[in-house]
Homo-oligomer: A and B are copies of this chain.
Amino acid sequence: MAEGRCLEAGERWTAPRKRVFELLLQAGAPVKAYDLIADYGHGQDRGVAKPPTIYRALDFLSGMGLVHRIPSLNAYVACAVDEAVHSASFLICDCCGSAEEFDPKVEPVVRAQAEHLGFRPTAMALEVRGLCRACA
């Protein structure tokens, strides 16, 4: 579980971090930062969140590998993989906006190619656009 991973790493599982992660899990799809801001206070006694609160939580969560940013959508999604920090690949549906995380298993090949070109890779991100099963 997220909290455990966080505590093991000696990091604090604070209210904003918890709430933002919760919202992303509930959504089960990419969510925009300002939607998180809008939804942050819904339910219970929580106050209103301002941008830095959300962006700090997102930075923290992606640093922990619990959340991925999808640059081409300017959106954030809870990580589907129970694994430490990792490079993420997504199948992004242009119709319904879903983003399924998958493992294309090409990382070693790409890494080798990059190194052959004198490049030293640290991370990679693959985004496949198209139509998901439901929309096709």
A interface residue numbers (CB < 8 A to B) = 71-72, 91, 93-94, 100, 102, 104-106, 109-110, 113-114, 117-133, 136
Contact = CB atoms under 8 A, between A and B. Distances in A.
A117 B99 CA distance: 13
A19 to B, nearest CB: 26
Given A72-B125, A129-B123, A104 B94 contact: no
A129 B133 contact: no
Contact of A106 (B106, B121, B123): B106
Contacts of A94: 122
Contacts of A104: 106, 109-110, 113
Contacts of A120: 130-131, 136
Contacts of A132: 118-119
Nearest to A119: B91
**Residue of A72, A130, A131 with most chain B CB atoms under a 10 A cut-off:** A130
A129 B105 CA distance: 17
Given A106-B104, A109-B106, A121 B128 contact: yes
Contacts of A105: 109, 113
A56 B130 CA distance: 24
A126 B100 contact: no
Contact of A126 (B71, B118, B126): B126
